[in-house]
Amino acid sequence: MVTVNRSLHADILVIGFGKGGKTVAAKMGRLGKRVVLVEQSDRMYGGTCPNVGCVPTKGLVHRSHKRRPDDPAQDWYQESVREVQAIREMMRRGNFDALNSIETVTVLTGRSTFTDPHSVSVMTADEQLTVTADTILINTGSEPAIPDIPGLAGSKRVLTSTDLIETTILPARLAILGGGYLGIEFASIYRAFGSQVTMFVRAARLLGRDDDDIAAVAESILAGDGIEIVTGAQVTQVRDGDSGATVVYDKDGQQHSVEVDAILAAAGRVPATRDLGLDAAGVRTTEAGAIEVDEYLRTSQPHIYALGDVKGEAAFTTYLSLDDSRIVLDQLTGEGRRTTTDRVVVPRTLFMTPPLATVGMTEREARQAGHRVKIASQPVAEIVAMPRAYAVEETRGVMKFVIDAETDEILGAALLSVDAQEIINTVALAMRHGIKAAELRDAVYTHPSSTEAFNDVLATIVRVDES
């Protein structure tokens, strides 16, 4: 029996269990504030990252490369998924307990819908209740987008990234629709597990934001691993059959088709704002459904904040969501000066194998901005000061720095190498604090490590722009 119209009042209501929201909830709860956090699914305590994003996917990256040639692909994959799910369940419980154990914090599992700017109706499994709050945080994240392709949405073979990591059946033939970070990461994972992977990319090449030389090395690594990359492809139809699905696509004016067992729709993610009742709250959104915020993360209602992907930023930005929490906490408990404009030189990583980590400007962007640049670049296999690459048997890739020719300022870097996801943070920190390329080049690093590659790479200026 459902109990109706119980009411709760909170100092702070957090909708969604993402990184930013849970961080604010925990901090304010420990300060004695009455906090209610509502998460619509008991499988999403902790948010996207530990449940369907960073943690399970990177766990699969790791396990896929531990498989030996004689290990049965299906058995290895099934056991890997079970291991990753066990880790995810542990983190899910930990996230729930960490908040629910705070005396002034109440965690509710149910769907939230605004009824006015200060009130939300919450439908749980047992009751419908109204939660009112002085301050409200929206941290509902994003959800996979399904492209508008005839036959795709209704296909029994189509999966989102969330669906794919839930299944214990390894698809023998996997089609990936999309060539962004999500598509590339999953292509790398499932090829390593043993799937035959075909990527369909509408653009002329992968990684359109990156410089041509970096993108070419990345694409050659993926192709060398056996991933078929079909660029300039327009998927026009999906047809289900008895033994699989047929993907029909146009390329170079001709129609082609391929039969697969599963289709991953990796065309990006959209803000999860459907059915939140934002109109009733007076919260403005963009045409794409993202919540509009100012530099303090305030929505059109000053007491309502939005954190994380729901603002329409790049997906899976857990570390930006954490920084969002710092901005909001400064509003709630500090001087209220911290803003998104303070957030500069933010690195990002594509977890292919080896990973590609970038920060700052590309060479193309630096030249377009009017900089005279010098370029330091070396293939990983030629970096003498990086024996770690040989020690772990991963010498593929390249490191590239874009440097201002007049000031020696590091304008940007692209590191396609083992450990790139770690060492890019050193570069970003150097850029934030104005450390010059020569200083990074001449620093003393531990040995053997990947960071010491900077000693070699930054000593090799391969081109100077004299224009």
DSSP-derived 3-state class of residue 199: strand
- Are 7 and 126 members of one domain? yes
Instruction: Tell me whether residue 341 is annotated as binding.
Output: no
**Residue 280 buriedness (CB in 10 A; 0-12 / 13-18 / 19+):** middle
What span, in angstroms and rounded, lies between the C-alpha atoms of 65 and 95? 29
Q: Which residue has the tokens 């033939």?
A: 173
Kindly report the backbone phi and psi dihedral angles of residue 142, in degrees, each rounded to the nearest multiple of 5, phi listed first.
-135, 170
Q: Is 140 annotated as a binding residue?
A: yes
Q: Is 365 among the annotated ligand-binding positions?
A: no
User: Domain for residue 150, yes or no?
Assistant: no
User: Annotation-wise, does 184 bind a ligand?
Assistant: yes
Q: Are residue 261 and residue 286 in the same domain, yes or no? A: no
Same domain, 219 and 237: yes
447: annotated active-site residue: yes
Assess if residue 148 is contained within a domain.
no
Global model pTM greater than 0.85: yes
Annotated binding-site residue? 244 = no
Domain end (from 223, 248, 267): 267
In sequence order, the β-bridge partners of residue 138 are 15, 306
End residue of a domain, out of 306, 323, 342 = 342
Is residue 228 domain-shared with residue 176, that is, in the same domain?
yes
Cα separation, 223 vs 203, in Å, equals 17
Phi, psi of 362 (to 5 degrees): -80, 170
Is 434 domain-assigned? yes
Residue where a domain terminates, one of 342, 373, 391: 342
What pLDDT tens digit does each residue of the chain (467 aa) get? 555 678 999 999 999 988 899 999 999 999 999 999 999 877 777 777 766 677 788 888 889 888 888 889 999 999 999 998 888 888 888 888 888 999 999 999 999 999 999 999 999 988 999 999 999 999 998 888 889 999 999 999 999 888 888 889 999 999 999 999 999 999 999 999 999 999 999 999 999 999 999 999 999 999 999 999 999 999 999 999 988 999 999 999 999 999 999 999 998 888 999 999 999 999 999 988 999 999 999 999 999 999 999 998 754 466 788 899 999 999 999 999 999 999 889 999 999 999 999 999 999 999 999 999 999 999 999 999 999 999 999 999 999 999 999 999 999 999 999 999 999 999 999 999 999 999 999 999 999 999 999 999 999 986 666 54
Helices (H), 14-72: 19-30, 48-52, 54-64
Q: Are both 424 and 381 inside the same structural domain?
A: yes
Q: How far is the C-alpha of 314 from the C-alpha of 249, rounded, in Å?
A: 27
In this structure, the answer to whether residues 380 and 430 fall within a common structural domain is yes
Structure-token match 């300060």, residue found: 31
Helices 212-224/181-193 angle, 10° precision: 30
Which CATH number does the domain housing residue 389 bear?
A: 3.30.390.30
Domain that holds residue 235: 158-267
Angle at alpha carbon of residue 75, lines to 69 and 80, rounded to 5°: 95
Say whether 21 counts as a known binding-site residue: no
Q: Under 8 Å CB-to-CB from 376, ≥6 apart: which residues? A: 400, 401, 403, 437, 457, 458, 459, 460, 461, 462
Same domain, 238 and 166: yes
Alpha-carbon Rg for the chain, nearest whole angstrom, is 24
Query: What's the CATH number where 18 sits?
Result: 3.50.50.60
Q: Which of 65, 256, 303, 447 is catalytic?
A: 447
Give the chain's domain count. 3
Does residue 133 sit in the same domain as residue 278? yes
Instruction: Give the three-class secondary structure for 394.
Output: coil
47 inside domain: yes
Question: Is residue 126 included in any domain, yes or no?
Answer: yes
Domain assignment present for 147: no
> What's phi and psi for 238, nearest 5 deg?
-125, 130
- Residues in contact with 311: Cβ distance below 8 Å, sequence separation at least 6, in sequence order: 271, 290, 291, 293, 297
Rounded Cα–Cα distance for residues 457 and 363 (Å): 16
User: Computed from CA positions of residues 221, 223, 225, 228, in that sequence, does the dihedral angle turn out positive or negative?
Assistant: positive
Identity (one letter) of the amino acid at 209?
Answer: R
Within this chain, do residues 55 and 25 fall inside the same structural domain, yes or no? Answer: yes
**One domain, residues 63 and 181:** no
In a domain, 256, yes or no: yes
Tell which residue, 132, 112, 229, 241, has the closest CA to residue 177: 229
- Please give the DSSP secondary-structure letter assigned to residue 17: -
Tokens of 69: 């040639």
Residue 376 and residue 453 in one domain: yes
Residues 240 and 284 in one domain: no
Q: Is residue 149 part of a domain?
A: no
Asked if residue 185 belongs to a known ligand binding site, the reply is yes
Instruction: Using DSSP, state whether 368 is helix, strand or coil.
Output: helix
